[in-house]
Amino acid sequence: MIPFIDLQAQKRRVETEARRRMDAVLEHGRFVMGPEVDELEKRLAEYVGVEHAVSCASGTDALLMPLMALDIGPGDAVLTTPFTFIATAEVISLLGATPVFVDIDPVTFNIDPDKLEAAIRAVEQNDSSIHTLPPNAGKLTAKAVIPVDLFGQAADYDRILPLCEKHGVAVIEDAAQSFGGRLGDRRCGSFGLCGATSFFPAKPLGCWGDGGAVFTDDAELAEKLTSVRVHGQGRDKYENVRVGINGRLDTLQAAVLLAKLDIFDDEIEARQKVAAAYAKGMAGLEGVVTPTVPENMLSAWAQYSLLTPGPQAREGLMAHLKEAGVPSVIYYPKPLHMQTAYAGLGYGEGDFPISEGVSRRIMSLPMHPYLEDGQIETICQAVRQGAENFA
Ligand SMILES: *Cc1c(COP(=O)(O)O)cnc(C)c1O
């Protein structure tokens, strides 16, 4: 079986440097907030092109902390897409705020800016005829938007940022899948008030455990984030100026990330080559829609996702691939408004038809920087054969 994500190949490459870095941590013994954390934050900020990087324990905390810093809570609406990993919406609910879902663009799978503007207006006017609002939520105030850079490709910030500014709504970029990607001359993670990323092992830049970071140019926000990260501490360790969390990144994970950052640009480059080889190997294939990346964008290629004609075709293709030793995964089989966890909001089937349709047709192929030409050839051939059976 070809691995879906080959972390072993990368391990062999970074092992010496990562062990050297981890050994240094064992020696100095500062396992929490050690010097590697500082060093990493400086390098991350420089990489993303922002003033401040605040590391934390996970991508989920990286989304939660800015919402806490903004005092978001009950009665507040935070708008996001239903076609994402649960963490994006979960952090909103954890604070007692309400996720207001906005459907996606059928090509990029990212939040649709026209629908976003309609949704903000619907919240402002408390009018569900403009955009589907959660029926059980009552009157809300639009406070923030969390656009997701799905599969590694930036959301449409050229349109999202001005419209959110116009409505006085903060933008928190969910860059968990797009670290290393670009839109124009700016890196993902640098858009809006702040960007949040994840260093979960399977993400473009992964550590050997959980980790995350928030990026911002806003000094006041950065200071609040560092306070929220450690139980809302003030100047003094035992002074608590707000309610916070224990959201620190382990020093050992910072050490691993420092070693992996050294080869990261090279890996992003390798992902471009894999994506290009896939596109070539599946060009013109009837019934298979391969991803397209706009001219001014660089995807971090967290996933390489295909659209099939429908659920039966997808099931057949995935079974065929499995027989050929090629794993595939569905990201995501069920949009968030259809999840049991969100039944309480009162959304129903048909509320976000693009997300629902895409969730029935989409599937992802193996994607990592160490896929070899022969493996890519095997995968493309298996997709071509499997697609012959599309009804
Ligand atoms: C992975 C992911 C997260 C959460 O990151 P963790 O580090 O697993 O907490 C949030 N949003 C998206 C889009 C993700 O893919």
- Gap between the Cα atoms of 294 and 7, Å rounded: 29
Mutation test residue for ligand 1: of 56, 88, 332, the one with most atoms within 8 Å of CB: 88
Model pLDDT for residues 101-117, shown as the tens digit of each residue:
999 999 999 999 999 99
The residue assigned the tokens 């035992």 is 238
The ligand 1 atom nearest the CA atom of 302:
15
Q: CB neighbours (10 Å) of residue 249?
A: 29
**Closest residue CA from atom 5 of ligand 1:** 59
Ligand 1 pocket residue status of 81, Cβ below 6 Å: no
The secondary structure of residue 103, as a DSSP letter, is P
What tens digit of pLDDT does each residue of 324-358 get? 999 999 999 999 999 999 999 999 999 999 999 99
- Ligand 1 geometric centre to CA of 166 (Å): 28
Q: What is the pTM of this model?
A: 0.98
What is the separation of C-alpha 193 from the centre of its chain, rounded to a whole number of angstroms? Answer: 16
Q: What's the CA gap between 144 and 141, in Å, rounded?
A: 9
Question: In this structure, what token pair is assigned to residue 254?
Answer: 């910072």
Atom nearest to 63 CA in ligand 1: 10
pLDDT at 181: 98
* Strand 297-298, strand 182-183: pairing: antiparallel
Does residue 58 have its Cβ closer than 6 Å to ligand 1? yes
Closest ligand 1 atom to 84 CA:
13
Instruction: Give the whole-angstrom CA distance, residue 258 versus residue 42.
Output: 11
Ligand 1 centroid – CA 307 distance (Å): 22
Distance from the alpha carbon of residue 387 to the mean position of ligand 1, in angstroms: 31
pLDDT digits (tens, 9 = 90+) for 350-384: 999 999 999 999 999 999 999 999 999 999 999 99
To the nearest 10 degrees (0 to 180), the angle between helices 219-229 and 59-69 is 120
Closest residue CA from atom 14 of ligand 1: 176
- 177 Cα–ligand 1 center, Å: 7
- Report which protein residue has its CA nearest ligand 1's atom 6: 59
200 forms bridges with which residues in the sheet? none
Q: What are the DSSP calls for 43-93, one per residue?
A: HHHHHHT-SEEEEES-HHHHHHHHHHHTT--TTEEEEE-SSS-THHHHHHH
Q: What pLDDT is recorded for position 62?
A: 98
User: What's the token pair of residue 223?
Assistant: 């200071």
Q: What is the pLDDT of residue 391?
A: 66
Q: pLDDT under 50 in the chain at which residues?
A: none
Phi, psi of 63 (to 5 degrees): -85, -35
Nearest to 6 by CA among 188, 261, 206, 290: 206
Report pLDDT for 389. Answer: 86
Q: Note whether 379 and 326 are within 8 A (CB).
A: yes
- What pLDDT score was predicted for residue 44? 98
